[in-house]
Amino acid sequence: MSGPEYPALYLKRGEDKRLRAGHLWVFSNEVDTAKSPLPEFPVGGPVWILDASGKPLGTGYANPSTLICARLMDRSGRALDRSLITHRLNVALSLRERIRTSPHYRLVFGESDGLPGLVIDRFDDLVAVQLNTAGMQVMKDEIQAAIEKVLKPSALVWKNDSSARALEGLPEQVDVAFGAVPERVRVLEGGLAFDVDVLQGQKTGWFYDQHDNRDRLQPYVKDLRVLDLFSYVGAWGIRAAGFGAAEVTCVDASAAAVAQIEANARLNGLQDRVSAVRADAFEFLRAARAEKRHWDVVILDPPAFIKRRKDFKEGALAYRRINEMAMQVLARDGILVSASCSHHMGRAALLEAIQGGARHLDRQVQVLCQLQQAQDHPVHAAIPETDYLKGYISRVLPA
């Protein structure tokens, strides 16, 4: 076995099929623990991954204390070093520069960009980085050096506060690696500007994954009344106003988010058409129905209601409830934009939730457009877990 001198992680007979088909994950029950006792592997350390006969499948890293106990990084057996990371960053950058007109995008989307466990969002010359696995945490210095070489950013933020880190036995931390990070960082999208909080905001401060879907709003909102629920900093609602919506109401439970919606509306000269309300989305819809308020377009982009497979039944019911309640405040011939970022809520299940709510209200749903994550969040064809965002733009009519 030529290449770097890493410990060998042997798989059981027949457990190499998924990796050979293109997947990158190794589960702990697939490992031949007689040949390679998992507790002996350092957390996050590099390994060779081999099939039962000893044939190398490639190099990766291991975490013996997690269900996904190893991740394959390079099938040719290259060392997990700065050179490999730099190469992968350059390949990722070449795509983003083709599909985006400004340097505001997700530069690295984990497995889909050959860097499992790594997320990098770019805000012009500032980058926010998430190290979501122990293996990426071990390579932190090499990752920073590669980012500096490829992008030459003025500032780098380690936004290591995702729930995924707890599963890997890692602490939640937000640190500035270098540079000056302003209180608000500007994002450009669709000819509009948005100020976001990279240090304290949700995820890395902005949701690039809905960029392409927000672009699709234009034909549906001009001169109409729009309700944007779970609005965060107002991306959907303010984009709708930018497309000519007559009146936009943005709703979020966070006071900080509501203040930022108002600031972003002013930033774009849209404050006369955009208002922000602090409220729980379910409670807002309940009150709006009681008051017989209606909107021509309702946008639902909630946080994940289903984070674990065992929570599917309860989460699916929440998706049905919120969609049904949204239809109750839709105008007679209205547009519903409904999305889910729960991987466990599949595309068919989301449509079933929408249709279930519609039938209960004696409504008819015409699906006009299917939504998916933006191009800077590419789906790895062999890893269904990377295809997490789905949605529909639908017309809702009386039955």
Q: Alpha carbon of 230 to those of 163, 234, 292, 318: distances in Å?
A: 20, 9, 21, 14
What is the band of 316 on the pLDDT scale with cuts at 50, 70, 90?
confident
Q: Would you state the pLDDT for residue 375?
A: 98
**Euclidean distance between CA atoms 315 and 321, whole angstroms:** 10
Arch. (CATH architecture) of 185-398: 3-Layer(aba) Sandwich (3.40)
Nearest Cα to 24, choosing from 77, 74, 82, 86? 74
Tokens of 393: 């733009």
What is the band of 313 on the pLDDT scale with cuts at 50, 70, 90?
confident
pTM of the model: 0.95
Nearest Cα to 323, choosing from 225, 392, 251, 226? 392
Strand bridging mode 185-189 / 247-252: unpaired
Asked if residues 331 and 295 have their Cβ atoms less than 8 Å apart, the reply is yes
Q: 82-178, which class in CATH?
A: alpha beta
**Residue 250: active-site member:** no
Q: Which of 69, 250, 341, 369 is catalytic?
A: 341
Name the CATH superfamily, with its identifier, for domain 8-74. Answer: PUA domain (2.30.130.10)
Residue 54 region by backbone torsions, left for phi larger than 0, else alpha for psi between -120 and 50, else beta? left
User: Is the pLDDT at 303 greater than 90, yes or no?
Assistant: no
Direct distance between the N- and C-terminal alpha carbons of the chain, in angstroms, rounded to an integer? 66
Ranges of each domain in the chain: 8-74, 82-178, 185-398
User: pLDDT, tens digit, for every residue of 55-91?
Assistant: 999 999 999 999 999 999 999 999 999 999 999 999 9
User: Residue 159 — φ and ψ, nearest 5°?
Assistant: -100, 65
